[in-house]
Amino acid sequence: MGSRSDDARRLLLWDGILRRAEVEGADAGVRHACEVARDVLAADGVVLYEAVDPVTAEPVATVGDGAARLAEAEITVGEGPALDAIAEEYPVLVHDVDAVERFVRWPAFAPQALVGGVRAVSAFPVVMGAVVVGCLEVHHRAPVDLGADRIVDGLLLADAALALMLHGAPRAPGADPVLARWVTVRQAADAVAVQLGCDPATGLLRLRAHAYSTDRRLGDVAEDVAAWRLLFAPEADAQSERGPG
């Protein structure tokens, strides 16, 4: 696709973002970019992640049933298309999650995706200069090959998401359940770090490990920590952690 048609497509996508914001009487924000991505890419769910470090990210906007849950699962197990796209700085296109090679590459994520009803995932890195600062991840409930035009749209929407992350409407955690949930996760990671005498990154790792080993959502575990229903001790064995049940 030539540069002129790319520019025209970029303008069309931005027009869709601005129109959605106008209908709501709000300034354009990252959620509007996710909504356009869902429509343009005929997706069932969309997640916009912000990279925390080269191996960790957290969602800043989700659209579609089940998108937030799958994003939480991907971060909990520490593997999947979004995290690979951030690490590899290149789009990761999964036409069918239920393929043998996907279970080899993502033995923990692939089953979670299938349980959540997701069969195809496309992840487009959000790039600022030479640095990957996030990822736009798109979910489909059936196997799908996006094709060249939709891949270009995904990359252009990732660029739009970057602009909105930097200059769009401010994201108020109290008004957005996705943001509020991840504020709780960060606070819980800090609390675990204090309990264990470690750094917050290790606190988050222990939080994720507990969620994975108990087959619970990361946000639910974080809420237990915040409410003092779950405490962590320095030893990593099961007897050193006190929680529900």
Structural contact between residues 71 and 59, judged by C-beta atoms closer than 8 angstroms: yes
The position carrying tokens 């869902």 is: 38
Listed range (116-120, 157-161, 201-205) with the worst mean pLDDT: 201-205
Which range, of 7-21, 77-91, 160-174, averages the lowest pLDDT? 160-174
With a cut of 90, say whether residue 155 has pLDDT above it: yes
Tokens standing for 77? 């197990």
| CA distances for 179 relative to 27, 164, 187, 228, 238, angstroms | 18, 16, 12, 21, 30
* 171-187 average pLDDT score: 75
Sheet containing 131-140, strands listed edge to edge, beginning at the edge strand earlier in sequence: 56-63, 45-53, 131-140, 120-128, 92-94
Specify the residue for token string 């937030």: 68
pLDDT of 35:
96
165, 30 contact by CB (below 8 A): yes
Kindly write down the DSSP assignment for every residue of 151-204, as one continuous string: HHHHHHHHHHHHHHHHHSPPP-GGG-HHHHHHHHHHHHHHHHHHHHTS-HHHHH
80-103 average pLDDT score: 92
CA neighbor of 32 nearest in space, from 21, 22, 41, 42: 21
Read off the pLDDT of each residue in 32-47 and give the average, rounded to a whole number.
96
- Dump pLDDT digits (tens) for 43-86: 999 999 999 877 789 999 999 989 999 999 999 999 999 999 99
| Domain residue ranges of the chain, discontinuous segments joined by + | 3-171, 174-240
- 214: pLDDT strictly greater than 50: yes
CATH topology of domain 174-240: Arc Repressor Mutant, subunit A (1.10.10)
pLDDT value of position 243 = 46
Task: Transcribe 44-83 into DSSP letters.
Answer: SEEEEEEEEETTEEEEEEEESTTHHHHHHHHHHHT-SHHH
Q: Whole-angstrom Cα distance, residue 132 to residue 92?
A: 14
Confidence tier at 171 by pLDDT (50, 70, 90): low
What is the rounded average pLDDT of the residues 32-37? 96
Instruction: Give CA separation, 116 vs 59, 68, 136, in Å.
Output: 17, 11, 18
Query: CATH homologous superfamily of domain 3-171?
Result: GAF domain (3.30.450.40)
Q: What is the pLDDT of residue 201?
A: 85
**Which residues have a Cβ under 8 Å from the Cβ of 145 and sit 6 or more positions away?**
95
Mean residue pLDDT of the chain comes to: 88
Instruction: Please choose, from the candidates 182, 166, 185, the residue with its C-alpha nearest in 3D space to the C-alpha of residue 174.
Output: 182
E strand or H helix that includes residue 138: strand 131-140
CA-to-CA distance for 94 and 123, rounded, in angstroms?
A: 8
